[in-house]
Structure 1
Amino acid sequence: NGLEKDPLAETQVSQGITTVVLGADGESPWPIGEFLHKIRQAPAALNIAVLVGHATLRRRVMGNDYRRAARLEEIAQMEKLVEQAMREGAIGLSSGLEYEVGSYSTTEELIALARVAARFGGFYMTHIRDEADRSFEALREAIAIGEQARISVQISHIKLGTVGVWGKSAEAVRLIEEARRRGVDITADCYPYDAWHSTITVLVPNKRYEDPASAERALADVGGAANITITECAAHKDYEFRTLEEIAKSKGVSPVELFIQIVKDGGASVIGKSMIDSDIRTFYRQQWVMVASDGGVGMRHPRAAGTFPKVLGRYVRVEHWLSLPEAIRKMTSLPAARLRLADRGSIRSGMKADLVLFNPTTVIDRSTFSDPQKLSEGIEKVFVNGELVWDAGKAIGARPGSVLSR
């Protein structure tokens, strides 16, 4: 929770964000009630809601023995923890099935936990099991969880992240539209960048990280080593903000050899430039896809500071991908409806005054991959719960944010 160190959340508030959802991708604070109590005692500049993380539950119940399917009695224990979290104020369940802890779970385990969240009016938000060559299989799993658990589903940061699935966004849309016609309440969010930010090991879904053939395939899938940039590497600080291709050349080794060595040395966080604009455009043009940053305080990806102004300045004003009213809907009333925030997301009498005043002719992102924390321009004023928190390019210092729960 970067808000503990930076409760003013300038990279978020400066782009017009008034509410953040913590606990995405399967990782959340625990216990939820204790965490929310601390937030209420020391509020941030913006509102906070929290999901309970599937991986967090797995570790609580299974400890370090999580590299397997959970037993029935372990699933039963996790179900009790979901109930506890929902009673303490969580708004739903999240999963990160491409990541280490969650990747070993079965669909049946997820359905069981999602059913508990559904009983309390929660929704299921998922970083699906594969965002690359097996994206469609992973989407089908998310849909099946929604159908069988009778729970609303949110696909986090929908994308097609390898060469083999580039240009197939229409197929993904058809899959989701078919589910929606069957009555599955499924929506998605998307960030406006052609590059993701994650751990280096997600490049190798078969987990054979030190196998040269697997590493070679992984780099080919994202278009080559030039498309992978190291953002954080504890063992090799000199690698940061350089591409695998660049580092490999300087070391006189192959990118595959470098990849394997980095994994052996403890891994790294990376940016992978592996999506294409036409797919991003197709997703944003769906009425059920909203704008979200998948970012956080201090994150070394420009989406953390630039997502919303980029959509308004580039995709609305310059590229005309979306109309201004539709873009605003994707940033306000649509996500508020998914989060079941009945008193937020629209401007009308009786609603909470989370308001943004911006200039549609000047609003633009300024964050880049080399300067990911650079603040956006054109967001003039931001109000949270009726109190001014951002004015003329500066944080006011006010911290009127609320905890938002069911």
Structure 2
Amino acid sequence: MKNQYTFFVVLLLTLIQSQLQSQSKQNHNTIIQNVWIVDGTGSNPKKGAVRINGNRIVAIGNLTPLKGEIIIDGKEQYLSPGFIDSHSHHFGSLKKEPTGVAMTNQGITTIIIGQDGDSYPMDSLNAFFQQNNIAVNVASYSGHSSIREKIMGENDVFRKSTLEEIAQMKLYLASDLEKGSLGLSTGLEYESAFYSSKEEVVALAQLTAKYKGRYISHIRSEDIQLNDAIDEIIAIGKITGMPVKLSHIKIANKDDWGKAGLIIKKLELARKQGVDITADIYPYNFWNSTLRVLFPDKAFTNLSSAELAVNKLFDPKESVLVRFAPYPAYTGKTIAAISKERNETEAVALMRLIQLAADYKKANPNAGGIEALAGKSMKDEDVAEFIQWSHANICSDGAAGGHPRGYGAFTRVLGKYVREQNKLSLSQAIHKMTQLTAQHLGLQKRGKIATGYFADLVLFDPTTVNDNATINNGKALSSGINRVWVNGIIVYQQQQATGELSGTLIKRN
């Protein structure tokens, strides 16, 4: 009995000490001095200091340390707002890896999930944050495909919905929006949403607009029907009057390479006509998705469709299988190498790989992540032109493994497109990672170094910042990111997590 009493006393004291330590962290003053402040607005860097109290920025400028406050010497490095990733798939790794190094190593402090039409219900996210602490902030859209599967059944979404089903979807979406979702996301190129009618999407978008939400879309086609797909998202913006965002803008059809300027003109014309259309983009010329996305007509056993894919929609010689559960030995090999190994044409090999994955899924119905391809299908010049568009912000579209964008998208922009190629100034790039993104998403008090804003901050060296992740080493940490604060707490420094977990769930105001 005495031992039991002692145990509870020790436990109580431990809990009290932990609470006091937490309160101390939230109430202390920190001054970050001797830094070049890149405030996120696009303005030129200014020498100065930033004071943090708790989770907020309370002063900026030529500051003198206060008695007892923590002093951090920035050593003339650059201090920016924390990077906001407007299209992330990192959330799935955060329960197992709550320190979120995949994000913080590249300066990301806030991730936006619920992308490509696939989301968790807001109730589930609320429950997660009640039970778990993580190092980064999270906000979410409501996913169209997830709602379709909930209402129509996971195996019955390969058709148009009925009016009754649309009505049920609207009820489900309204509930999620009321609980803080940013808006509606669609993944119209993927099979779970591909068969939805434009009327279904518009009905859900109109409901979202009534809640002052936003719309983001992986559009119906990024290749042979790209113009029609862009027309659809522009039409949704016109009909609803709400902001619409084109996910990871790209040109994935070789016949249209070099036409980024024409697409930008189309988007600018829509903006002049009153449509608040924007885009996000990741800084790579290859994507990461399923093999099935290479078939615009979803005719996976049609040789002509497969030949269109290998000749126009991706480069088999530079596209690598990053995951293949049916035959793990194929992982890390190009489609061209696999076709040679199988003694098949590249088109036939592509069809066969899709069939093998389908057979594996049928035999293992609970299996996830069966196959994935890093598909080379964009032109560097188009990527650079889209990155430079004034209404495009940076995203990763990444996860904690696989495509190198999951660990290095933001640092790649700073290394390649700012320092090496001078496509953007440093201030422009930071703006596209911070304030511009916050504006596109409707996030309040984030994305800028300003008094009263949340203290999400990144201290970095612009002369060394660089991405190091590759297809063969997708988890290599970035260089030059020296410290990262999330809500006033340092979560990453000296290329490792501190163990602090100060992230929060951000909801639409």
TM-score bucket (shorter structure): over 0.9
- Equivalent residues of 1:230, 1:269 under 8 A apart: yes
Aligned partners of 1:38, 1:89: CA distance in 2, in Å?
A: 15
1:266 corresponds to: 357
Work out which of the residue numbers 138, 150, 156 in structure 2 matches 1:60: 150
2:298 corresponds to: 207
Is 1:51 the counterpart of 2:153? The answer is no
Aligned 1:62-101 pairs, distance under 5 A: 62-63=152-153, 64-101=155-192
Work out which of the residue numbers 400, 407, 410 in structure 2 matches 1:297: 400
Aligned 1:246-325 pairs, distance under 5 A: 246-266=337-357, 268-298=371-401, 300-325=402-427
SS at match of 1:145: helix
2:225 corresponds to: 134
Q: Which range moved further: 217-226 or 369-378?
A: 217-226
Aligned partners of 2:385, 2:351: CA distance in 1, in Å?
A: 35
Aligned partners of 1:250, 1:121: CA distance in 2, in Å?
A: 54
2:275 corresponds to: 184
SS at match of 1:264: helix
Aligned partners of 1:53, 1:86: CA distance in 2, in Å?
A: 11
| 1:223 CA displacement | 5.0
1:36 corresponds to: 126
Structure 1 length-normalised TM: 0.98
1:392 corresponds to: 494
Aligned partners of 2:126, 2:400: CA distance in 1, in Å?
A: 18
2:113 corresponds to: 22
| 1:224 CA displacement | 3.9
Aligned 1:348-387 pairs, distance under 5 A: 348-387=450-489
The AA in structure 2 aligned to 1:398 is E
SS at match of 1:226: coil
1:346 corresponds to: 448
2:430 corresponds to: 328
Q: Residue by residue, what CA displacement relative to the aligned partner does 1:273-306 show, whole Å, maximum 9, x if unpaired?
A: 11011101111111100000011223x0011111
The AA in structure 2 aligned to 1:274 is S
Is 1:5 the counterpart of 2:5? The answer is no
The AA in structure 1 aligned to 2:406 is A
SS at match of 1:102: helix
SS at match of 1:197: strand
Aligned partners of 1:222, 1:72: CA distance in 2, in Å?
A: 35
Q: How many residues align?
A: 404
- Equivalent residues of 1:6, 1:297 under 8 A apart: no
1:157 corresponds to: 248
| 1:310 CA displacement | 0.6
Q: Greater relative contact order (Cα 8 A, min sep 6): structure 1 or 2?
A: 2
Work out which of the residue numbers 263, 285, 303 in structure 2 matches 1:172: 263
- Equivalent residues of 1:289, 1:330 under 8 A apart: yes
Q: Residue by residue, what CA displacement relative to the aligned partner does 1:193-224 show, whole Å, maximum 9, x if unpaired?
A: 00000000000110111111110111101354
Structure 2 length-normalised TM: 0.78
| 1:35 CA displacement | 2.2
The AA in structure 2 aligned to 1:35 is L
Q: Residue by residue, what CA displacement relative to the aligned partner does 1:90-129 show, whole Å, maximum 9, x if unpaired?
A: 1111000110111011111111101111122210010010
Q: Residue by residue, what CA displacement relative to the aligned partner does 1:342-366 show, whole Å, maximum 9, x if unpaired?
A: 2111001100000000000000000
| 1:227 CA displacement | 3.1
- Equivalent residues of 1:200, 1:270 under 8 A apart: yes
- Equivalent residues of 1:40, 1:402 under 8 A apart: no
Q: Which range moved further: 352-361 or 69-78?
A: 69-78
- Equivalent residues of 1:91, 1:123 under 8 A apart: yes
Aligned partners of 1:141, 1:363: CA distance in 2, in Å?
A: 39
Aligned partners of 1:393, 1:327: CA distance in 2, in Å?
A: 22
- Equivalent residues of 2:315, 2:376 under 8 A apart: no
| 1:86 CA displacement | 0.6
| 1:34 CA displacement | 2.7
The AA in structure 2 aligned to 1:83 is A
SS at match of 1:279: helix
Aligned partners of 1:304, 1:191: CA distance in 2, in Å?
A: 10
- Equivalent residues of 1:239, 1:247 under 8 A apart: yes
SS at match of 1:109: helix
Is 1:124 the counterpart of 2:223? The answer is no
The alignment's C-alpha RMSD in Å is 1.1
| 1:71 CA displacement | 1.0
Name structure 2 gaps, 5 residues minimum.
1-91, 359-370
Aligned partners of 1:241, 1:39: CA distance in 2, in Å?
A: 36
- Equivalent residues of 1:47, 1:403 under 8 A apart: yes
Q: How much identity, in percent, do the aligned residues show?
A: 40
Aligned partners of 2:208, 2:191: CA distance in 1, in Å?
A: 23
- Equivalent residues of 1:83, 1:117 under 8 A apart: yes
